[in-house]
């Protein structure tokens, strides 16, 4: 992936850290975005930290403008920004939770992709991989707003795949089950962690999708559920 410019959103998250490292290891120049990202988060000279908030239109556009002004192009977008809320039925869900789930899971996807697609179309190539969730296809009691926001996001990515295949762009979405992240270990300490999805496995899949072998895969919705449930 030498000479490839990759943007990883959520680059310091439980999954994003593995994705950023996998793309650096593959030789890409990686711009890592999150609200609190720091240059010292990754030691590679090919890493650039880009602090930013992408659940607003202006924040996402500013982030993309910075990428273009520094690197002139964007080859790869790995969008891992997302957030979870659970424990309330739909009837109990308050406005703030509803808004937060749609801001972080759907609106961030729409805003960053709306800004990125014209940049990719200019060069006639681009790879987009977004992270949905198993819950997008399998809603459960108490996680309805999270599920709905991820289901809408899957629809958005599939549409983008259709709308941009003429320009050499692929767009795919991965649906992880519960992942083995430090946050999940802390909040579910009695679980069998070995059944969870390894972030490094999802990162390898992303590296494959954005590499040469992944060129023919477009519009895919890919379950990665581990051995749980």
Ligand X SMILES: NC(=O)c1ccc[n+]([C@@H]2O[C@H](COP(=O)([O-])OP(=O)(O)OC[C@H]3O[C@@H](n4cnc5c(N)ncnc54)[C@H](OP(=O)(O)O)[C@@H]3O)[C@@H](O)[C@H]2O)c1
Question: Interhelix angle for 199-210 vs 16-25, to 10°?
Answer: 50
Q: Which stretch binds ligand X (CB under 6 A): 65-73, 82-90, 159-167, 210-218?
A: 82-90
- Residue holding tokens 């296809």? 137
Q: Which of 135, 180, 177, 179 is CA-nearest to residue 154? A: 135
Q: Identify whether the C-beta of residue 136 lies closer than 8 Å to the C-beta of residue 185.
A: no
Q: What minimum distance in Å lies between the beta carbon of 209 and ligand X? A: 15
Neighbours of 177 (CB within 10 A): 18
Cβ nearer to ligand X, comparing 98 with 121: 98
Q: Does 107 bind ligand X (CB under 6 A)?
A: no
Scan residues 18-77 and list those touching ligand X (CB under 6 A): 34-37, 52-55
Cβ 170 vs Cβ 158: under 8 Å: no
- Which one among 7, 8, 81, 157 touches ligand X, defined by CB under 6 A? 81
**Per rule CB under 6 A, is residue 104 in the interface with ligand X?**
yes
Of 10 and 144, nearer to ligand X (C-beta) is 10
Q: Using only the alpha carbons of the chain, give its radius of gyration.
A: 17
Would you tell me which residues interact with ligand X (CB under 6 A)?
10, 12-16, 34-37, 52-55, 80-84, 104, 108, 131, 133, 176, 178-179, 181, 183-184
């Amino acid at each position: 992936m030498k000479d490839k410019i990759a943007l990883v959103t959520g680059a310091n998250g439980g999954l994003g850290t593995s994705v950023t490292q996998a793309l650096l290891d593959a030789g890409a120049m990686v711009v890592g975005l999150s609200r609190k990202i720091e240059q010292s988060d990754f030691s590679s000279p090919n890493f650039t930290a880009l602090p930013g908030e992408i659940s607003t239109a202006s924040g996402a556009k500013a982030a993309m403008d910075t990428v273009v002004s520094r690197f002139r192009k964007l080859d790869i977008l790995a969008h891992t920004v997302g957030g979870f809320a659970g424990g309330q039925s739909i009837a109990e869900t308050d406005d703030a939770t509803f808004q937060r789930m749609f801001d972080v899971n759907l609106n961030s996807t729409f805003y960053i992709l709306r800004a990125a697609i014209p940049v990719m179309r200019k060069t006639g190539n681009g790879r987009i991989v977004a992270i949905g969730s198993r819950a997008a296809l399998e809603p459960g009691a108490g996680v309805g707003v999270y599920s709905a926001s991820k289901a809408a996001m899957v629809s958005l990515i599939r549409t983008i795949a259709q709308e941009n295949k003429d320009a050499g762009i692929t767009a795919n979405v991965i649906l992880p089950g519960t992942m083995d992240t430090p946050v999940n270990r802390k909040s579910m300490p009695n679980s069998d962690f070995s059944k969870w999805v390894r972030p490094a496995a999802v990162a390898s899949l992303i590296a494959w999708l954005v590499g040469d072998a992944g060129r023919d895969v477009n519009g895919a919705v890919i379950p990665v559920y581990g051995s749980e449930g």
